[in-house]
Amino acid sequence: MGLDELNINALPEHIAIIMDGNGRWAQQQGKIRLRGHQAGAEAVRKTVEATAKLGIKHLTLYAFSTENWNRPQTEVNTLMSLLVSSLRRELKRMTKNNIRLSAIGSLDKLPKNVQRELYEVIEKTEKNTGTNLTLALSYGAREEIKQAVVEISQKVKNNIIQVKNIDETIINEHLYTRFLPDVDLLIRTSGEVRISNFLLWQIAYAELYFTEELWPEFDEQSLHRAINSYQKRERRFGKTSEQLL
Ligand code: FPP
């Protein structure tokens, strides 16, 4: 699918991706899981660059969930080192492509060397004005919502917020994603049809796109197919079709 099949004036502003299937891809190839994650990191690079090329403003990737801490320690270590090496390697390309890095999640739970590398790249790319790439790391939506409730409750207790003023804007301002708009298009690879505790609040009106492709197979063409499907849908936000005319 070429660029000419996409409506450049109706692109989603915020795409979020649940990158799934690295392990199954490795298994299909008769390789160890590490190879699947390495190929997954390659798919991340291609997807980020394809997103930037289209001029899409926000891309959020589910790179490591709160539940992923329960994987075997060796796999957790592999994913953490892959993250560090990818961040190091990609800084130059990110700068060249004007990409700004952000991160959401319980970042304080990440190993110290990962935090250091992450904050360094975040700082070095903070003036970039192109695509904002957000990595969800040690992220869980329920945890995010819980901590927003705690913060808001504390502010109510200290008379900073009044209960009668609590609305969606105030809740948004206390989520990790306070700097992001709602998700327009959520993609999940590998044929699994579930949300797995990702951005539960922010996908309220998102279009959902599920593909059988395994994450390491995902590329520019795959991204275009997902956007093409999004563009064929009518987003009604609870209204009737007639009201949208
Ligand atoms: C799912 O595959 C993917 C992950 C657990 C994490 C995503 C990580 C990467 C794409 C690697 C590097 C990331 C960055 C940001 C450089 P799976 O292991 O759950 O696959 P399976 O369900 O087939 O076993």
Average pLDDT over all residues of the chain? 96
- Per residue in 85-124, pLDDT tens? 999 999 999 999 999 999 999 999 999 999 999 999 999 9
Report field, pTM of the whole predicted structure over 0.85: yes
Cβ–ligand 1 distance for 63 under 6 Å, the answer: yes
19 CA distance to ligand 1 centroid (A)?
6
Mutate to test the pocket of ligand 1, among 25, 37, 90 (most ligand atoms within 8 A of CB): 37
36 CA distance to ligand 1 centroid (A)?
8
- Is pLDDT at 17 greater than 70 in this prediction? yes
Q: Mind listing the domains of the chain with CATH numbers?
A: 7-140+182-232 (3.40.1180.10)
Which residues are known catalytic residues? 20, 68
What is the distance between the alpha carbons of residues 92 and 218, in angstroms, rounded to a whole number? Answer: 23
Contact between residue 93 and residue 168 where contact means Cβ atoms under 8 Å apart: no
Query: 58-65 and 100-104: which strand pairing?
Result: unpaired
CB count within 10 Å of CB 244 equals 10
What would the DSSP string read from start to end of 226-243?
A: HHHHHHTS---TTS-TGG
Q: What percent of the chain has pLDDT over 90?
A: 93
